[in-house]
Amino acid sequence: MDAASKVFAAEGFAGATIDAIGQAAGFTKGAVYSNFGSKDELFLALLDREFELRGQQIATALESGCDVPAAARSLSRSVLDSVHDHADYYVLFVEYWLRAVRDPALRERLIARRRAAAAEQADNFAESAAAVPSGRPLAELAQLVVTMNLGIAMEEVLRPGTIDQDLLAQLITALLESVAVRGD
């Protein structure tokens, strides 16, 4: 998977070949195809891995306790660090997103994976002491967080340093407080 990620990052989705991915991984093209039915399947598996990584980062940030502003600062820092450390992933995601917009079958597969990522985030919020759910559906909040993360990433990749970490923390604080249970 790491070799595939490097080849996709260097060549883009369209330019990457299964031959090149196999070669980078030390496998034959047939070996790659035995694990993944197509280049799309391999790429979607990489997306799943990246979504899981983002979910773990968000869960870690939210585990900072009941202090919503502290959790928001941690999450803000985590989001921006992730964007800076994985800029290639976000560029590839946008390239793949464009393919999915134009291909209805691929769109449905990508949507399913994005929904699964949002569901994982909803679980993270439900388990967090910082963001105890109120009557609002956590799936909607999680989808908003996943979407915001992509928008932030797109802008940060294009113009690093554009997103102010403290301002992002204020936005996340407001979002988390909007769903936190308030005392009577």
Domain identity same for 8 and 79: no
Domain identity same for 142 and 56: yes
For residues 95 and 143, the answer to whether their CB atoms sit within 8 Å is no
Domain identity same for 19 and 90: no
For the cut 70, the answer to whether the pLDDT of residue 46 exceeds it is: yes
Say how far apart CA 172 and CA 141 lie, in whole Å.
11
Domain identity same for 20 and 44: no
**Residue range 102-126, pLDDT digits in tens:** 999 999 999 998 888 878 777 766 6
* SS3 label, residue 23: helix
Query: Which pLDDT value is given to residue 136?
Result: 58
Domain identity same for 85 and 144: yes
Q: Where are the alpha helices (DSSP H) in the chain?
A: 2-15, 18-25, 29-35, 39-62, 68-85, 87-102, 104-127, 138-158, 165-179
Domain identity same for 79 and 107: yes
**Residue range 50-101, pLDDT digits in tens:** 888 887 877 777 776 668 888 888 889 988 998 999 888 888 889 899 999 9
Nearest to 79 by CA among 56, 49, 102: 56
User: Structural domain of residue 130, as residue ranges?
Assistant: 40-179
Give the position of tokens 């407080």.
177
Q: What is the DSSP letter of 64?
A: T
How many distinct structural domains can be found in the chain?
A: 2
Say how far apart CA 178 and CA 128 lie, in whole Å.
14
* SS3 label, residue 67: coil
Q: Does some domain include residue 184?
A: no
For the cut 80, the answer to whether the pLDDT of residue 45 exceeds it is: yes
Identify the band that residue 171 occupies on the pLDDT scale cut at 50, 70 and 90: very high
Task: Return the CATH number at 156.
Answer: 1.10.357
pLDDT above 90 covers a percentage of the chain that reads 39
**Residue range 149-160, pLDDT digits in tens:** 889 999 999 999
Say how far apart CA 114 and CA 147 lie, in whole Å.
9
Domain identity same for 33 and 115: no
Between 178 and 20, name the one with better pLDDT. Answer: 20
Q: Does some domain include residue 144?
A: yes
CA angle 75, 81, 87 (to 5 degrees): 125
* SS3 label, residue 172: helix
pTM above 0.85, yes or no: no
Considering 1-15, 110-124, 132-146, the range whose residues carry the highest mean pLDDT is 1-15
Identify the band that residue 184 occupies on the pLDDT scale cut at 50, 70 and 90: very low
Domain identity same for 70 and 101: yes
Domain identity same for 45 and 127: yes
Domain identity same for 137 and 165: yes
Say how far apart CA 125 and CA 58 lie, in whole Å.
9
